[in-house]
Chains A and B, each alone.
Chain A
Amino acid sequence: NAGVTQTPKFRVLKTGQSMTLLCAQDMNHEYMYWYRQDPGMGLRLIHYSVGEGTTAKGEVPDGYNVSRLKKQNFLLGLESAAPSQTSVYFCASSQTSGLPPDTQYFGPGTRLTVL
């Protein structure tokens, strides 16, 4: 199993450009998440999904959109990138059962710089 994979690993954007980050998981997990991690701020939840075709806002959703058309994929879009969106983005997935509940498995991250 590859677990959780993220594409791309690195990206540099100019202000105003758009891009899509792709997350894929092969563990048949129901839940998927997008986080951003910034120094001193920890992991902050951007959006999440509790199943195929569903999405919901997290703590910091502004400036981002997501889609979950297939159970194994969760896409994060930036329509008009801003320097404040420079961060490391992590995708995670979890199952609905197990101990502890919803143990999250993280991808390797995408380092995004917006100039």
Chain B
Amino acid sequence: QKEVEQDPGPLSVPEGAIVSLNCTYSNSAFQYFMWYRQYSRKGPELLMYTYSSGNKEDGRFTAQVDKSSKYISLFIRDSQPSDSATYLCAMRGMGGYQKVTFGTGTKLQVIP
């Protein structure tokens, strides 16, 4: 079983829809939870992060972490065609050098 599981999609939604992207994980030592966005033929870039449990909002994006369920989510409100990309969740523990574990990514397409 992988440490981080992510539905690969693809997920296709109409413009303006609310998108929910999710990851589950098995390692209870993870403390930092990140979402990277990767456009086609580009490198991933950090979109948002949360520390431990709770929610974090940044514009149209909201990241949620439920450590009791080992489940994290990224919500995109009022989705735009420019949101079409692959979204990778990533996680790491605390202290010193820690390996970052990435999900396999969910491909999102927002249809105009």
Binding site for B on A (CB under 8 A): 4, 31, 40-43, 45, 50, 58, 90, 92, 99-109
Which residues on the A side are within 8 Å of B100 (C-beta)? Answer: 102, 104
The one of A45, A50, A107 in contact with B43, judged by C-beta atoms closer than 8 angstroms, is A107
Binding site for A on B (CB under 8 A): 6, 8, 32, 34, 41-46, 49, 51, 88, 92, 94, 97-100, 102-105
The one of B8, B32, B42, B104 in contact with A101, judged by C-beta atoms closer than 8 angstroms, is B32
Which residues on the B side are within 8 Å of A40 (C-beta)? Answer: 8, 104
Whether the pair B103, A42 counts as a contact (CB closer than 8 A) is yes
Contact A104 to B46, CB < 8 A, known contacts A40-B104, A42-B104, A50-B97:
yes
The chain A residue with its CB closest to the CB of B8 is A40
Give the CA-CA distance A101 to B97 in the complex, in Å: 9
Which residues on the B side are within 8 Å of A102 (C-beta)? Answer: 92, 97-98, 100
